[in-house]
Amino acid sequence: MRLLNREESLELDRLALSESQLSIESLINKAANALLIKIENICDFQNDKFFIENKEYKQIYFLLGPGNNGQDGLYLSRLIKEKFPNIKIFTYNYSEILNFLAANIHEPVLL
């Protein structure tokens, strides 16, 4: 697997936006929902706990940066919170994420 550097990642995002003719909000929604499907395939959510391979967990932590992956993670955390309330979100450069959400996400975000 090849990892992209920051410039390559930004270029890939730019190409995805221009070629798909989707908004950034739609791309974030698609990414978060795709991840949610993968997570639901391995997690058994049960009220205040969840299980992965029969091991019990009671908390999910998100560590989010200010980039596009951070925005995907924030949206994903909101989707998971609908199924499992015990989520903690840690961010750095949080003001950039909030500014992005205010400008691009046109529905409430529950934190």
Pairwise CA distance, residues 81 & 5, whole Å: 30
Predicted pLDDT at 111 = 43
Predicted pLDDT at 96 = 66
Place of tokens 């200010």: 66
3-state secondary structure of 13: helix
CB 70 within 8 A of CB 24: no
Question: What sign has the CA pseudo-torsion 98, 32, 2, 24?
Answer: negative
Cross-strand partners of 64: 91
Closest CA to 68 of 19, 106, 2, 16: 16
CB 66 within 8 A of CB 93: yes
Predicted pLDDT at 108 = 44
Identify each DSSP E strand in 22-65 by its residue range. Answer: 44-46, 49-52, 55-57, 60-64
Predicted pLDDT at 54 = 86
- Along the 111 residues of the chain, how does pLDDT read in single tens digits? 576 777 887 788 788 888 888 788 888 888 889 989 998 888 888 878 888 888 888 888 887 877 777 888 889 998 988 888 888 887 777 676 667 666 665 544 444
